[in-house]
Amino acid sequence: MEKIGISRTELAQKIRKLMIDNRNIQKYEKIDDNFLIDYYFDNYDKKNNKTGIKIEEDNFDLKLFEEDFKRHLLNEKKLLEEEGVDTDKITKIVSAFSHSFGEKKSILEDLPFEKDLKIFPNIETLYLLYTEQTKNKFLEYKETSKYRDIVKIEGVLIDTGIDTLYRKVINLILEGKISKNNTVLDTTLGLKEIGIVFYKISVEKQIKSINWRETMLSNYKPVDENNKDRFVIEKGQGPRMSLVTKLNLMKDPLEESNRIYRKINENIMKANCQTVSDLYEVVGIDDLRFFYEEIGKLFNYFKMLEYNEDIEDFYNDLNKGLRKIFEYKFLPENISRLREYVKYLLRIVYRVENDNINWLKFSKNIFGITENEIINDEEEKAKRALERKGKETFDLDLNYEDSEIDDEEISIDGTDYFFYLLLKQAVFEKVSSYYFENVKNILKDYYEEEKVEKIISIVNSKDKKTNEKIKQIKGILFDEFSMEYELEEFEIPNLADMNIGLIRYKGGVLDVPFEDEGKLEMLKINLKEESFIRKKDKRDEFDISNEKDRKKLKKK
């Protein structure tokens, strides 16, 4: 049976229609029909032993294609940024390697991870996953790539097992080579196992994943090799239409990750350390799992009640827990997050037990905490407290340098501060009045009944926020000018990961996620109507995390 097929003109029209349907920006009237056919179906490729028409680099139609492709990539970059991705901050790309690279001088034939370089302008390192079977091809690509002088190309040898593949990529994180702040995973190429691993890592480590969705033409072939005026569809895969490729941000793993991290934040705000530890185990962040497990052994309302029998044991166990934490190997990004909290706990131990932290090497420790931060700063605070106290008693001639300040004066009363920490924990955990009765009875053994009743009233108040309750409790328990309690507080919310959720912009409406006591809220801003942001409010006077500012925005 004779193959009829379609003419070159009809095939060119099909290509043009796909361009219009997918791009809807120009019809390519200036592009010659013959060029479209030759470029997609009869393009010479020496490297892959493909015969056909050789299209020169300075071909007019090819240049038109390339210029439009550059505009297309800029538009894809803009769309990705509207999804909340800061393209300037991405410096690392991780992708599977493609062994199908050929003699591709035109940017139209760039591989997906090469197109990434046009989207993220500050890429420093390209990590390509290859197997033993593709090793030689990878080494050839590394030596001959037209981008070898622009970025550092690093290979990662893998096998196809999911567990070993997962460990290979995780090692890049553990070694500090990639992180959620500077890395994108490109899932376009490779085996399905790579896609599974990239998805898992996106969920666990909050590293963004992207892929390029490409439109494929049908596999048209000339009816007669000697007469290429008519074409028929044959089996097999046709050419890629790079001009209509779309860049997608993989939202499913990010949204799944955000759900987990919102749970983590909610439990951090409640100081439910063991739950936080369990959740970090789910997402595979072992150092934070360990940290919250150790802290949870102490900072738990019912566990702290047990320490009431011997409060000194609480401080001894806190000291032991801190020693374990200082011996653990934390990731750099988590060291910076935990440092202030660890310093706060270390100060408590020092101020209660004086020199009982001689196990700590101030000259060299994982958190970089110095002796001055723990000891000298506290003496200075004690001096300032004495000065304020002197002014309050109208002793204007008081010179705090003449005041004797010794270890006893700047130490914390362990019992007082223990009850303060216990009450803080009760507030964080929102302990019910039923379970709080135990504390009420214990406090009456140490404090006047009037003071205890005030504390109970504050803890049970439904109108006060967490931080307000804690501040008022501290004001009741401790003299405002009592120098031994001039201990810099650490705000628990500072431990939360606020980098959750994505800012989205569509149709003039900006969706801005923000945290409110551990819960994710969404503020919608119609930028077409809310011109007051630009005209009436100075940028530094508007804070999305401030409730008053959010109400102000909604009223407008």
DSSP one-letter string for 424-460: HHHHHHT--HHHHHHHHHHHTTTS-HHHHHHHHHHHH
Residue 499 lies in a domain: no
The CA distances from residue 296 to 275, 302, 351, in Å, are 9, 11, 22
117 and 89 belong to one structural domain: yes
Say what the pLDDT of residue 470 is: 87
Residue 407: HSE in the Cβ half-sphere, 13 Å Cα cutoff:
7
pLDDT digits (tens, 9 = 90+) for 376-419: 554 545 554 555 455 455 444 444 344 444 444 456 778 888 99
Examine the fold and report which residue of 464, 494, 524 is the final residue of a domain before the chain moves on.
Answer: 494
Element (H, E) at 23: helix 8-23
Edge-to-edge strand list for the sheet holding 509-516: 504-506, 509-516, 519-526
Give mean pLDDT, residues 353-379.
Answer: 75
Residue 189 buriedness (CB in 10 A; 0-12 / 13-18 / 19+):
buried
Return the top range by mean pLDDT from 313-322, 348-357, 479-488, 540-549: 313-322
pLDDT digits (tens, 9 = 90+) for 39-78: 888 765 444 445 556 778 888 888 888 888 898 899 999 9
Decide if pLDDT at 126 tops 80.
yes
336 and 459 belong to one structural domain: yes
Residue 255 lies in a domain: no
| Helix boundaries (H) for 430-544 | 433-443, 449-460, 466-477, 532-535
Say what the pLDDT of residue 406 is: 45
- Count structural domains, the chain: 4
Residue 256 lies in a domain: no
Positive or negative CA dihedral for 529, 501, 194, 140? Answer: positive
Predicted confidence band of residue 535 (pLDDT cuts 50, 70, 90)? very low
Q: Phi and psi for 58 in degrees, rounded to 5?
A: -95, 15
Give mean pLDDT, residues 421-428.
Answer: 91
Say what the pLDDT of residue 182 is: 95
Q: Which of 141-155, 190-204, 231-245, 448-462 has the lowest average pLDDT? A: 231-245
- The answer to whether the CB of 202 falls within 8 A of the CB of 257 is yes
407 and 288 belong to one structural domain: yes
380 and 289 belong to one structural domain: yes
- Of the two residues 109 and 129, the one the predictor is more confident about is 129
Query: Residue 84 contacts by C-beta under 8 Å, 6 or more apart in sequence?
Result: 502, 503, 504
Q: How far apart are CA 29 and CA 374, in angstroms?
A: 73
Give mean pLDDT, residues 498-505.
Answer: 55
CA angle 18, 19, 22 (to 5 degrees): 80
Determine the 3-state secondary structure of 546 from DSSP.
coil
Say what the pLDDT of residue 546 is: 53
Q: Which of 69-78, 249-258, 338-347, 488-497 has the lowest average pLDDT? A: 488-497
Predicted confidence band of residue 495 (pLDDT cuts 50, 70, 90)? confident
Determine the 3-state secondary structure of 265 from DSSP.
helix
According to DSSP, the residues that pair with 95 across neighbouring strands are: 128, 186
Give mean pLDDT, residues 130-138.
Answer: 92
490 and 516 belong to one structural domain: no
390 and 324 belong to one structural domain: yes
Tokens 């997609």 belong to residue: 40
According to DSSP, the residues that pair with 212 across neighbouring strands are: 247
Predicted confidence band of residue 351 (pLDDT cuts 50, 70, 90)? confident
Predicted confidence band of residue 512 (pLDDT cuts 50, 70, 90)? low
Residue 291 lies in a domain: yes
Examine the fold and report which residue of 168, 189, 213 is the final residue of a domain before the chain moves on.
Answer: 213
72 and 151 belong to one structural domain: no
Residue 303 lies in a domain: yes
Give mean pLDDT, residues 437-454.
Answer: 87
Q: pTM for the full model?
A: 0.69
Residue 254 lies in a domain: no
Q: Which of 146-155, 159-168, 231-240, 333-342 has the lowest average pLDDT? A: 231-240
According to DSSP, the residues that pair with 240 across neighbouring strands are: 216
Residue 48 lies in a domain: yes
DSSP 242: E
Mean pLDDT of the chain: 80
Give mean pLDDT, residues 542-555.
Answer: 50
**In terms of Cα–Cα distance, which of 109, 110, 75 is closest to 93?**
110
Decide if pLDDT at 256 tops 90.
no
pLDDT digits (tens, 9 = 90+) for 473-489: 888 887 654 555 566 67
423: which 2 tokens? 């009450």
238 and 274 belong to one structural domain: no
Residue 356 lies in a domain: yes
Predicted confidence band of residue 538 (pLDDT cuts 50, 70, 90)? very low
Break the chain down into helix, strand, coil percent, rounded to 5.
Answer: 50, 15, 35
Say what the pLDDT of residue 335 is: 92
Residue 247 buriedness (CB in 10 A; 0-12 / 13-18 / 19+):
buried
Say what the pLDDT of residue 379 is: 53
- The answer to whether the CB of 366 falls within 8 A of the CB of 323 is no
Say what the pLDDT of residue 218 is: 87
Which residue type is seen at 377? D
- The answer to whether the CB of 50 falls within 8 A of the CB of 44 is yes
461 and 326 belong to one structural domain: yes
Predicted confidence band of residue 224 (pLDDT cuts 50, 70, 90)? confident
Please give the share of the chain, as a percent, with pLDDT higher than 70: 75
- Of the two residues 439 and 295, the one the predictor is more confident about is 295
449 and 354 belong to one structural domain: yes
Determine the 3-state secondary structure of 42 from DSSP.
coil
Judging by DSSP bridges, how do beta strands 183-186 and 92-96 pair with one another? parallel
Positive or negative CA dihedral for 146, 149, 152, 156? Answer: positive
Say what the pLDDT of residue 403 is: 41
**Which residues span the domain enclosing 242?**
1-84+217-247
DSSP 374: I
Examine the fold and report which residue of 468, 494, 520 is the final residue of a domain before the chain moves on.
Answer: 494
- Of the two residues 260 and 47, the one the predictor is more confident about is 260
Give mean pLDDT, residues 315-339.
Answer: 92
Which residue type is seen at 339? R
**In terms of Cα–Cα distance, which of 313, 315, 324, 385 is closest to 347?**
315
Q: Which of 193-197, 365-369, 482-486 has the lowest average pLDDT? A: 482-486
477 and 510 belong to one structural domain: no
Say what the pLDDT of residue 243 is: 81
- Would you give the distance in Å from CA 286 to the centre of its chain? 16
Which residue type is seen at 41? F
485 and 533 belong to one structural domain: no
- Would you give the distance in Å from CA 103 to the centre of its chain? 38
